[in-house]
Amino acid sequence: MYKVIFACVHNAGRSQMAAAFFNQLADRQKAQAVSAGTEPGLRVHPEVLTVMQEIGIDLSNAKPQKLTEKLARNAQLLITMGCGDKCPYVPGLRRDDWPLRDPKGQPMDEVRAIRDEIRERVQSLLNKDNLGLLAIR
């Protein structure tokens, strides 16, 4: 099982969207994603819940969680979400950083643009890694 961790500081926006898109698009028999944060918030940002619901993805039960060694175990890739110096580092994991704006408190059109950019990046990741992880739809 190929495991990807999407991480940001509060695990309440960007990383939640990225993991949801990955899990929707990837072949679940071959790959999975989790999201986590270095300083998890109390809940997923309301504006993120709204824009994801608009496209049929329900994150209402998603809960921010802390990035721990246990959570990172058996992962192959860590993708951080533009959190600068606060981005996590997990020894031994291949790492990439996606410089994305934080959707918290942004106008809905901006949150939609961030959502769409995340979806494009996840699709590109699944296509370029050539691991056969993309679900046939």
Q: What tens digit of pLDDT does each residue of 107-126 get? A: 999 999 999 999 999 999 99
Is 88 a member of any domain? yes
Query: Partners of 80 in the beta sheet?
Result: 7, 97
Is 45 a member of any domain? yes
Given the residues 87, 93, 113, 134, select the one marked as catalytic.
Answer: 87
Is 132 a member of any domain? no
Is 1 a member of any domain? no
87 catalytic per annotation: yes
Instruction: Count CB neighbours of 115 within 10 A.
Output: 25
Number of domains in the chain: 1
Is 93 a member of any domain? yes
In one-letter notation, the amino acid at residue 50 is T
CATH at residue 94: 3.40.50.2300
Is 137 a member of any domain? no
71 catalytic per annotation: no
Q: What tens digit of pLDDT does each residue of 49-105 get? A: 999 999 999 999 999 999 998 998 899 999 999 877 777 777 788 889 999 999 999
Given this model, what pLDDT does residue 128 score?
77
Given this model, what pLDDT does residue 137 score?
45
Given the residues 59, 83, 122, 133, select the one marked as catalytic.
Answer: 83
Asked if 65 and 7 count as a contact pair (C-beta separation under 8 A), the reply is no
The mean pLDDT value of the chain amounts to 90
Q: Give the confidence band of 45 by pLDDT, cuts at 50, 70, 90.
A: very high
Given this model, what pLDDT does residue 135 score?
61
Given this model, what pLDDT does residue 134 score?
63
Given the residues 8, 67, 125, 126, select the one marked as catalytic.
Answer: 8
pLDDT reading at 14 higher than 90? yes
Is 133 a member of any domain? no
Rounded alpha-carbon distances, angstroms, from residue 116 to 3, 34, 54, 70, 90: 22, 19, 12, 31, 27
pLDDT reading at 132 higher than 90? no
pLDDT reading at 32 higher than 80? yes
The dihedral sign for the CA sequence 19, 22, 28, 31: negative
pLDDT reading at 136 higher than 80? no
31: domain range?
Answer: 8-127
Is 37 a member of any domain? yes
d(CA 27, CA 132): 8
